[in-house]
């Protein structure tokens, strides 16, 4: 996966987490993964289609989700499961929406689908012959994981080979 596809996600995560949680998010670990993705806590998946196709999984521990939910909802009451799920989906929506905005400005055209809560314990294969990039961000509320599996759409990929 090319850095031009990855950097917007790092920038967006940093900006969105900073803006919504009023804190800094530091990318502390980046690795490649070809295996089945297994979530660490509560995970939301956003599918992207178009010039770039694939999916991004946004994954946080329950403890982190609870802290973020309290922070974002402005309520002191302990969040229930629904609110925590909504929080993870909305955070995913914000980060990925901002990242694809940046990618679109670079000339990529695609469609972002609504976030889906990923509840299966069985694991999730990204897409055929696509390795995933796993990033961990540390925030005062805990760790946030992003698992990005994307590739150029065939037509676009052929175009870029001739660039």
Partner 1 sequence: MEQFRALVRAQDRQPVRYLVVDDSIFARKNLSRIIEAFGGQVAGEAGDGCTAITEYDRILPDIVFMDITMPQMEGIEAAERIVHLHPNARVIMVSSVGYQENIVAALQKGARHFVQKPVKPELLYEVVKYVLGEDGIAVEPQEEVNGESVQ
Binding site for partner 1 (CB under 8 A): 16, 19-20, 72-74, 82-83, 86-87, 89-90, 93-94, 96-98, 100-101, 104-105, 109, 112-115
Residue appearing with tokens 């530091």? 26
> Which residue, 75 or 158, has its beta carbon nearer to partner 1?
75
Minimum CB separation of residue 96 from partner 1 in Å reads: 7
Minimum CB separation of residue 94 from partner 1 in Å reads: 5
> Which residue, 21 or 149, has its beta carbon nearer to partner 1?
21
> Which residue, 2 or 109, has its beta carbon nearer to partner 1?
109
> Which residue, 82 or 128, has its beta carbon nearer to partner 1?
82
- Backbone Cα Rg of the chain: 16
Do residues 144 and 150 touch, judged by C-beta distance below 8 A?
no
Concatenate the DSSP letters of all residues of 62-125 into one string: HHHHHHHHHHHH---SPP-HHHHHHHHHHHHHHHHHHHHHHHHHTT--EEEPPPEEE--SS-B-
Minimum CB separation of residue 113 from partner 1 in Å reads: 7
Return the H-helix or E-strand segment holding 44. strand 42-50
Minimum CB separation of residue 41 from partner 1 in Å reads: 17
């Amino acid at each position: 996966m090319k850095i031009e596809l990855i950097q917007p996600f790092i920038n967006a995560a940093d900006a969105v987490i900073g803006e919504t949680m009023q804190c800094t998010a530091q990318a502390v670990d980046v690795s490649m993964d070809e295996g089945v993705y297994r979530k660490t806590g509560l995970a939301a998946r956003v599918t992207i289609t178009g010039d770039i196709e694939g999916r991004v999984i946004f994954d946080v521990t329950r403890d982190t989700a609870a802290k973020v939910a309290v922070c974002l909802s402005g309520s002191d009451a302990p969040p229930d499961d629904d609110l925590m799920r909504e929080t993870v989906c909305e955070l995913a929506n914000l980060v990925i929406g901002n990242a694809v905005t940046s990618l679109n400005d670079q000339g990529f055209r695609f469609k972002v689908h609504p976030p889906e809560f990923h509840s299966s314990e069985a694991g999730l294969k990204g897409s055929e012959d696509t390795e995933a990039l796993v990033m961990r961000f540390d925030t005062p509320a805990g760790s946030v994981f992003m698992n990005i599996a994307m590739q150029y759409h065939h037509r676009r990929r052929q175009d870029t080979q001739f660039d």
